[in-house]
Amino acid sequence: MLKTLAMAVLALAPLAAQKFEGLAPTPPMGWNSWNTFQAKISESLIKEAADALASSGMQAAGYRYVVVDDGWEAPERDAQGNLVPDPARFPHGMKALGDYLHAKGFKFGIHNDAGTKTCGGLPGGRGHEFQDALAYASWGVDYLKYDWCNHGTANSQETYKTMRDAIRTAGRPIVFSLCEWGDTKPWTWAKDTGHLWRTTGDIMDCYDCQGAYSLGWKFILEIEADLAQYAGPDHWNDPDMLEVGNPGQTPAESRAHFTLWSMLAAPLMAGNDPRKMSEDTRQVLTNREVIALNQDPLGKQATRFMKHVGKQIWAKELANGEWAVCFFNDSDATVQLRIDWANLTFLKGTYRIRDIWQKKDLGRTTTALEAPLAPHDVVLVRLSPAGL
Ligand code: GLA
């Protein structure tokens, strides 16, 4: 009787809106226009970038979301309040661009803002959420990055939920990427709202510089160190897009940045110019053994096991009893690593060691690992139970 009553009540309750579940079982991978091009974007640039992602092997390595960041809009909505793409730079409109990307096997991402205007001063979504979500659905959008400029006194949780509900109502599954920079600790409330959330201000193309609202990746790493418990399949911490291959990174920094973002189960959104990528950069971004750690189905974010100057140790638990371990030299001098595996107390028994960047099997954890480690560089190993 009680059960029947409960079922009747449930049937009467309005269906709670939800995010589209299951769209990001592993961290989303793709490319975003912002880090290299800022608002200087156009339909032809996005198409060229997509073509380069395909021809360089990046698409095959897993980069499938092509995200058009701030700068695609005309300065005003039309008379009906619809968003309008900039007619000079996106002359065929966003549906045509989405069709182009889909035909090439990519997913189509777009940027807007939860406030009245984007950070670049173009029309934001506030008050137009349901109308905009219908437009995105009709353009074939698969991924929406939603920024937090010009939000006034709006409440972040309510505002992002409104957009989530609008996406749900429009009916097209869209990955919802919250970009409120960690201001209101989205890791504590956004799991049911979006699939990923930024945890910090904007990344800068440097190791350890800082601006008013932006920071080098060394500082982002510090913030992420406390957030591992909040990440998992379909709800990821987002430490911002990659600067791998950009002019502010040495080869070691590009490699370390990519490694650590992979360890953090971060979305891997390349932010370089894929049309002019060096072979070194391509090798980093398409290293499938590193990407496999990032995309591991267990979906765990690495935690920092040790923090000594020059000798940080990060560990990421993988499916099937395996581990990824990263030794990171955060100092400006070369250090000599000596790893007695027995000291890594999270390990159980003996493991085979695979050095991922050297692409070499190193034997077993019964022998200590010794290696010099250059400034801002990493040694990355995958450990597999020896019995497997
Ligand atoms: C904010 C975001 C960036 C980028 C710019 C666009 O700063 O955090 O990632 O989208 O806006 O204006």
Q: What is the CATH number of the domain that holds 372?
A: 2.60.40.1180
Cα of 30 vs centre of ligand 1, distance in Å, is 16
Q: Which of 69, 113, 147, 296 is catalytic?
A: 147
**Taking the CB of residue 41, how many other CB atoms lie within 10 A of it?**
22
Clarify whether 202 is annotated catalytic: yes
Mean pLDDT of 215-225: 98
179 CA: nearest ligand 1 atom: 8
Does pLDDT of 10 surpass 60? Answer: no
Does pLDDT of 47 surpass 50? Answer: yes
Regarding whether 315 and 279 lie in a shared domain, the answer is no
Q: How many helices (H) and strands (E) does the chain have?
A: 11, 18
Residue range 104-146, pLDDT digits in tens: 999 999 999 999 999 999 999 999 999 999 999 999 999 999 9
Regarding whether 275 and 355 lie in a shared domain, the answer is no
CA–CA dist 296, 266 (Å, integer): 12
Regarding whether 308 and 290 lie in a shared domain, the answer is no
What is the tally of structural domains in the chain? Answer: 2
Regarding whether 241 and 178 lie in a shared domain, the answer is yes
CA–CA dist 202, 186 (Å, integer): 16
Among 35, 41, 67, 69, say which to mutate for ligand 1: greatest number of ligand atoms within 8 Å of CB: 69
Regarding whether 311 and 232 lie in a shared domain, the answer is no
Regarding whether 366 and 289 lie in a shared domain, the answer is no
Cα of 169 vs centre of ligand 1, distance in Å, is 26
Cα of 4 vs centre of ligand 1, distance in Å, is 50
338: left (phi over 0), alpha (psi -120 to 50) or beta: beta
Cα of 43 vs centre of ligand 1, distance in Å, is 19
- Print the domain residue range for 357: 303-385
CA–CA dist 118, 212 (Å, integer): 18
Does pLDDT of 343 surpass 90? Answer: yes
Does pLDDT of 7 surpass 60? Answer: no
Which residue's CA lies nearest to atom 11 of ligand 1? 119
Residue range 169-206, pLDDT digits in tens: 999 999 999 999 999 999 999 999 999 999 999 999 99
CA–CA dist 145, 149 (Å, integer): 13
Backbone angles phi, psi at 117, to 5 degrees: -140, 155
Does pLDDT of 16 surpass 90? Answer: no
213 CA: nearest ligand 1 atom: 7
Q: What is the mean pLDDT of the chain?
A: 96
Among 72, 111, 113, 145, say which to mutate for ligand 1: greatest number of ligand atoms within 8 Å of CB: 111
Are the beta carbons of 305 and 349 closer than 8 angstroms?
no
In the beta sheet, which residues pair with residue 335?
373
In the beta sheet, which residues pair with residue 113?
147
Output the CA torsion sign for 236, 237, 240, 244.
negative
Pairing of strands 236-238, 360-364: unpaired
Pocket of ligand 1 (CB under 6 A): 34, 69-70, 111, 118-120, 147, 179, 181, 202
Regarding whether 105 and 50 lie in a shared domain, the answer is yes
201 CA: nearest ligand 1 atom: 8
- CA distances 372 to 323, 333, 336, Å, are 22, 11, 4
CA–CA dist 294, 221 (Å, integer): 16
Domain limit, last residue, from 294, 313, 332: 294
Domain limit, last residue, from 266, 294, 322: 294
CA–CA dist 39, 74 (Å, integer): 12
Regarding whether 359 and 285 lie in a shared domain, the answer is no
CA dihedral 34, 37, 39, 44 (to 10 degrees): -110
- Scanning the chain, the segments in alpha helix (DSSP H) are 2-12, 34-37, 43-55, 58-61, 93-103, 129-139, 156-170, 217-224, 251-263, 279-285, 288-294
Regarding whether 63 and 182 lie in a shared domain, the answer is yes
Mean pLDDT of 71-97: 98
CA–CA dist 271, 47 (Å, integer): 15
Regarding whether 273 and 319 lie in a shared domain, the answer is no
Domain limit, last residue, from 231, 266, 294: 294
- CA distances 264 to 82, 83, 132, 378, Å, are 38, 35, 32, 14
Give the domain CATH number at 164. Answer: 3.20.20.70
Does pLDDT of 5 surpass 60? Answer: no
pLDDT-derived band at 3, boundaries 50, 70, 90: low
Which residue's CA lies nearest to atom 3 of ligand 1? 202
Burial of 173 (0-12, 13-18, 19+ CB in 10 A): middle
Regarding whether 289 and 310 lie in a shared domain, the answer is no
Percentage of the chain with pLDDT > 90? 95
Regarding whether 316 and 256 lie in a shared domain, the answer is no
Residue range 269-315, pLDDT digits in tens: 999 999 999 999 999 999 999 999 999 999 999 999 999 999 999 99
